[in-house]
Chain A
Amino acid sequence: MTPATSTGARRRARTWSLLGDVRRKVTPYEAVTAKFHYHFRRDPAPFELDPEMSLNRWYLRHRENSPFQVDDWEDFRDPFKLTYKDYVSLQHERELYLDGLVDQYEVADVTARLDEGWVETLRRLFVPLRFPLHALQMISLYVGQMAPSSFITNPASFQAADEMRRIQRLAYWTKVLGNTHGDHIATTAAAHDPWAEGGEWQPLRETVERLLVTYDWGEAFVGLNLAVKPALDTLIDWQLGELADRNGDVFLSLLFSEFERDARRSREWSAALVDYALTRDPGLRGVVTGWLDVWTPSAERACDGLAPLFEKAPEPIPAADVASAVRAQLAQLRTTCGL
């Protein structure tokens, strides 16, 4: 063959060629997020191995053949447009705030002044939470690894990290409580046993276990982000925060308010994704609502199971109020999604 020759008028590529003839300016967020999942709808199979090998079949079944499909997922944008750099920068600032908050309340030795009845409520309601939240972390990572676009994978992965953030702050405070009110609070058994066997926790455990084995990526996303997670976020960040406030535990009230920022981010990108999908294919409404018909009642039952514990606090919230707050939040999210 003849040598390749350099053309005099080489086109100056100003953005990635895979983004096509883009008239508007491509943002840094888009430049480092667009079109990373080369394996989505790849022919003859997602991965460069035997087309019939198990993971190829898994992805074809649960992603390419999910009912949750649009012609192109690459135009979806997380409303927060978070890159990794933005995410760690944002959470670095928020964690500095929490470091300060913890410091302030530790110096004031607030746990020593907590009512014993309130500590008992925390033991039953607050301490075991790290188990279901860890399950939410796992399912977020499943949604992320199965999502058809990095524009979806990335916020799902950051959401998983937000769950870890919440778990670790709860674990920390569990230890602080244990140091003041007895080591028995800060043990694995104190969280594991109610989670594994306590009657109040079983509807939630059943819900998250069933969601763990929901492998269709669309249903996993809908079940997690439109039902189970917003229900649990409401129960914890809002209702338990309110309960803490009523019982004079200002620290936990502020801590849960902080987590509500992360929860709101989850709700907003989730609603944006549903809106994106329904705009492209209004027929998906039935698919999403069909899944919600399964997962919304399940999530509500899960929270109903825990609601009576709110009545046992020294300054209680009626279980019915907790249950209706959860229902209201799920309904509102559904409305936001246009469903």
Chain B
Amino acid sequence: MPRLARSEWYDLARDMNWKVSYVEESDAWPDELSTAKGIPMEAWWGWDEPYKVSYREYVHNQAGKDASVYAVNSVVARSKMFSQLDEGWKSAILAHYGAIAAAEYLASIGESRMGRFGRAAAWRNMALYGTLDEIRHGQIQTYFPYGLLDREPRADWAHKTFHTNEWGAIAARHLFDDMFTANDAVSTAIQLTFTFETGFTNLQFLGMAADAMEVGDIDFGALISSIQTDEARHSQQGEPTMKLLIEHGHKDYAQKLVDHMFWRSWHVFALLTGLSMDYYTPLEHRSHSFKEFMDEWIVKQFLDQFRDFGLEPSWYWEDFLKETNWYHHALHLGVWFWRPTVWWNPDGGVSPAEREWLEEKYPGWNDTFGRYWDVIAENVRNGRPELTLPETFPMVCNMCQIPLCNPAGHAAGHLDSPVPLVHDHAGRRYTFCSQPCKWIFEQNPGRFQGHMSIIDRFLAGQIQPPTVPGALAYMGLSPEEMGRDATDCSWAFANGTVLTRGA
């Protein structure tokens, strides 16, 4: 072992800051790749990461971590564990792999942007670890589903989702490109690391890891909990960046960056984690409800973060808290109804026992969302599965790219109006699901205005033939891949009625 402690030499490995003079500073750190808000370069040099690690410590630690996670996978791959998993849980992990695996790899691009265009050597070094971490996460989260391909062809979506125009893929790409793949270094530090990785990845990676261990899916549990240990380290690039912005009078700007990305992350994770936790995870293995996880790991965490940095809770905070009661339930209804449009098998997850749990966790659920499921279940029991499937498509929000479920939110008493928001800009009409989605657009229309949602494309004639099958083909879903109910609607027959297959 080297004799000197890291603290004795570390500063000499992160002091490589100098004023460029053979080229313009504004060319070396262009604003579009590193929006500095006029803060002088020398001020950035005080950027100080709270978590310090050396290269040798990094490779020693990571080699050990990888060895143990791959060892678990190697053992599990030879077992029958996957085939014995609950069908709803399989849906949860297939949804996860599709939405997250390639996205994590792409986060390495955002980290590399900070590694090149970050404005202090210390920051650029931390971002380099982030680059490596995200390559790890992309590779490990495709390696595991790769091993499932023989048993589960839908595992292919771990790799191909981001190459398709499946609507959830568009929503994920739009979010993650906005957050890191096509974001400047300073905004990436605030929006990817401060906003997303300190909160929402806990939700998906620690929350789902807890559920995975309950379910007995040690493969997935070991995988995502190992990933989260990396996130906890590289997410800390946000804090010193935030401090600098605030010290130099840009608190409002920083607040806007947070408010923008918090809302967007919330919507996509309500879709991904909300459904998995409250409907797909087997009832007996649910450690907490999605709302309880949200309260513990998002609401509390962010209120603490806001307070610590002298920021305000986002202006839409009350609306956000309200949405935690209903939004993902409305999404679940929509995703289940439009199940042929997703690459996983949505689990209705509304047997009498599950409804009892939902009512306990979300008082009033039976009288609101339960009423829709009463009709659906009756149609299933009556052998009319075609009545539970779509003939058309819903409108999609021009910001989050998620179908609008305002009518369900209104009917459940949570929204004043069932009507979506419209906004006319530069000769085009945009539709938004919520005030925050509209606000994000208005803050920076040039970033979003030319983008076409899947419904815009449909209406513009870009999807041919303009029918449901035509749209499913556009989304890249083969008939074998289109989602079905994960348990052939067994939840509708929990009182012992004979199953009608084919829903």
Q: How far is the CB of B465 from chain A (nearest CB, A)?
A: 14
A12 touching B32 by the CB < 8 A rule?
no
Please give me the residue from chain B that is nearest to A172 by CB atom.
B9
Which residues B360-400 have CB closer than 8 A to chain A? 385-386, 389-391
Stretch at the interface among B76-84, B138-146, B235-243, B313-321: B138-146
* Contact present for A138 and B115 (CB under 8 Å): yes
Q: Are B60 and A84 in contact (CB under 8 A)?
A: no
B386 close to A11 (CB less than 8 A): no
Give every chain B residue within 8 A of A256 (Cβ-Cβ): none
Contact indicator B163/A38 (Cβ below 8 Å): yes
Closest to B19 in A: A196
Specify which of B24, B28, B60 is in contact with A92 (CB 8 Å cutoff).
B60
With the chains together, A13 CA to B150 CA distance in Å?
6
- The B contact surface, by secondary structure, is helix
Using known A-B contacts A98-B56, A141-B131, determine if residue A15 contacts B468 with beta carbons closer than 8 Å. no
> Which listed residue (B13, B162, B182) contacts A168, Cβ 8 A?
B13
The yes or no answer to B312 lying at the interface (CB within 8 A) is no
Question: Closest CB-CB distance, B19 to chain A, in whole Å?
Answer: 7
CB distance from B344 to the nearest CB of A (A): 13
Asked whether A36 and B106 contact (CB < 8 A) given A18-B160, A95-B55, A196-B19, the answer is yes
Complex CA gap A113/B340 in Å reads 75
Q: Does B503 contact A (CB under 8 A)?
A: yes
Most chain B CB atoms below 10 A, which of A31, A83, A172, A188: A172
Cα distance A12–B152 when bound, in Å? 9
Q: Which of B451-503 contact A (CB under 8 A)?
A: 451, 468-469, 479-480, 482-484, 502-503
Number of interface residues of A (CB under 8 A): 91
Report if B276 contacts A (CB, 8 A). Answer: no
Contact indicator A48/B105 (Cβ below 8 Å) = no
Report how far A166 CA is from B136 CA in the complex, Å.
Answer: 22
CA distance A144 to B182 in the complex (A): 14
Pair B128/A164 contact, Cβ less than 8 Å: yes
Report whether A3 and B503 are in contact in the complex, using a CB–CB cutoff of 8 Å: yes
Taking CB atoms and an 8 Å cut-off, the chain A residues in 6-51 that contact chain B are: 6-7, 10-18, 28, 31-33, 35-36, 38-39, 46-51
Which of A115-123, A149-157, A236-244 lies on the face that meets chain B? Answer: A149-157
B181 at the interface (CB under 8 A from A): yes
Query: Which of A41-68 touch B at CB < 8 Å?
Result: 46-56, 58-59
- Of the candidates B4, B22, B23, B479, the one whose C-beta lies within 8 Å of that of A7 is B479
A214, closest chain B residue (CB): B23
Q: List the A residue with the shortest CB-CB distance to B56.
A: A95
The verdict on A130 contacting B163 (CB below 8 Å), with A54-B32, A84-B136, A157-B135 known, is no
Q: When the two chains form their complex, are residues A165 and B1 in contact, meaning their CB atoms are under 8 A apart?
A: no
B389 near A210 with CB under 8 A, answer: no
Beta-carbon nearest neighbor of B502 in chain A: A3
The closest CB in chain B to the CB of A6 belongs to B480
Chain A residues positioned under 8 Å from B13 (CB to CB): 130, 164, 167-168, 171-172
Given A49-B451, A98-B56, A84 and B66 contact (CB-CB distance below 8 Å): yes
Q: A253 an interface residue at 8 Å Cβ cutoff?
A: no
Q: Are B182 and A47 in contact (CB under 8 A)?
A: yes
B153 touches A157 (CB 8 A): no
Bound-complex Cα distance A165 to B59 (A): 10
- For residues 434 through 451 of chain B, which have their beta carbon under 8 Å from a beta carbon of chain A? 446-451
- Please tell me if the beta carbons of A192 and B4 are within 8 angstroms of each other in the complex: no
Task: Judge whether A335 is part of the interface by a CB distance below 8 angstroms.
Answer: no
B187 to chain A, nearest CB (A): 11
Which of A99-107, A286-294, A304-312, A322-330 makes up part of the contact surface? A99-107
Inter-subunit contact A48/B124 (CB<8 Å): no
Which of chain B's residues have a CB closer than 8 A to the CB of A99? 1-2, 56
Instruction: List chain B residues, Cβ under 8 A from A144.
Output: 108, 112, 131
Given the complex, which residues of B lie within 8 Å of A164, measured CB to CB? 13, 55, 125, 128
Residues of B within 8 A of A59 (CB): 182
Which residues of the partner chain A approach B58 to less than 8 Å between Cβ atoms? Answer: 88
Name the B residues within 8 Å of A1 (CB-CB). 340, 386, 389-391, 468-469
Instruction: Tell me whether A84 and B446 are in contact (CB under 8 A).
Output: no
A92 touches B59 (CB 8 A): yes
Given contacts A5-B479, A51-B450, contact A168 B113 (CB under 8 A): no
The stretch of B171-179, B195-203, B298-306 in contact with A is B171-179
Q: Whole-angstrom distance between the alpha carbons of A13 and B60 in the complex? A: 36
Question: A142–B116 contact, CB under 8 A?
Answer: yes
Q: CA separation between A97 and B124, bound complex, in Å?
A: 27
B102 to chain A, nearest CB (A): 6
> Shortest CB–CB separation between residue A175 and chain B, in angstroms?
4
Residue of B at shortest CB range from A18? B160
CB pair A49–B178 under 8 Å, yes or no, is yes
B308 at the A/B interface (Cβ < 8 Å)?
no
Beta-carbon contact of B447 and A49 below 8 Å: yes
Knowing A49-B451, A95-B59, A174-B9, the reply to whether A157 touches B132 (Cβ < 8 A) is yes
CB-defined A-B contacts under 8 Å, sample of 14: A1-B386, A3-B386, A39-B177, A48-B174, A53-B182, A106-B2, A130-B12, A141-B115, A142-B116, A154-B135, A168-B13, A175-B9, A192-B18, A196-B18
Seen from chain A, the residues whose Cβ lies within 8 Å of a Cβ on chain B are: 1-7, 10-18, 28, 31-33, 35-36, 38-39, 46-56, 58-59, 83-85, 87-89, 91-92, 95-96, 98-99, 102-103, 106, 130-131, 134-135, 137-139, 141-142, 144-145, 150, 153-154, 157-158, 160-161, 164-165, 167-168, 171-172, 174-176, 186, 188, 191-192, 195-196, 205-206, 209-210, 212-213
Beyond A3-B385, A28-B143, A89-B63, list 8 extra A-B contacts (CB 8 Å): A5-B479, A49-B448, A53-B447, A84-B132, A89-B67, A157-B131, A168-B56, A174-B9
* A-B residue pairs, 8 tightest by C-beta: A92-B63, A134-B16, A55-B182, A171-B13, A171-B12, A47-B182, A50-B450, A32-B139
